[in-house]
Amino acid sequence: MKCLILAAGYATRLYPLTENFPKPLLTVGEKTILDWLIEDIDRAGEVDEYVVISNHRFAHHFEAWAKGRREKITVVDDGTSSNETRLGAVRDIQFAIERLSLDDDMLVIAGDNLLDFSLTAFIGYAKEKQASCIMRYYEADTARLRKCGVVTIGEGDRILHMVEKPEEPESHWCCPPFYYYKKDDTRLVSAGIAAGCGVDAPGSYIAWLCSQVPVYAMEMPGRRYDIGNLESYERVKKEYNGYAGTKR
């Protein structure tokens, strides 16, 4: 399978820190955010290539970082140079699929989040379901729900409905930016875009896909650390201790 890492954003809320440097390569402890993610995912032994989708402004930073990694890492430059001209996450996914002729099962993740549990558990869950899958976590705060993808869950964890950034959330289940696409569903991204699914938030494709085929949502077994601004970055640097290796 391939792992597609979404890293084409401009992280404007972290300026000036990320004005000329990509957020996924910020360090937490002795490693970059991407190092933490890839080292965990690689434990599953399922990924044969990591694809980092970058904007044009930051692509050379990712290329320099990739040279120091032992895994096969391909950096794809989406050609954009500003937040105003960005393609959006779903179009970036399709851009990488077309550029590299990808036709595989695919783990799609945001490159700017840290977890205190192993994503290998999520990969195993998707393998058992033999379907495209997402993760979900309970969010009590309605204001936060309005900024997230919100899912309604049915029997056996199947997603009944998903909406990105709903004004009136239908449930308290939030969807973090970690997705598993079955090969057949990877082939449908262009159809989702043509059908009018949103393109900015990565969950917009899943919101469309779950109306076409069964998609399942694993309850997240731990905590996600979202680095959204300078304050949260400083907090994560103090709090994050990495994946302890005890949760699978």
Token code pair at residue 112:
């700017």
Q: pTM surpassing 0.85? A: yes
Which pLDDT score, from 0 to 100, does residue 243 have?
63
Angle between helices 120-129 and 33-41 (to 10 degrees): 50
Is residue 57 pLDDT above 60, yes or no? yes
Does 3.40.50.300 match the CATH number of domain 2-239? no
Domain ranges of the chain: 2-239
179-223 pLDDT, tens digit each: 999 999 999 999 999 999 988 888 899 999 999 999 999 999 988
Which pLDDT score, from 0 to 100, does residue 198 have?
86
89-98 pLDDT, tens digit each: 999 999 999 9
Burial degree of 41 (CB within 10 A; 0-12, 13-18, 19+): buried
CB 87 within 8 A of CB 95: yes
Is residue 67 pLDDT above 70, yes or no? yes
Task: Give me the phi and psi of 107, to 5 degrees please.
Answer: -95, 120
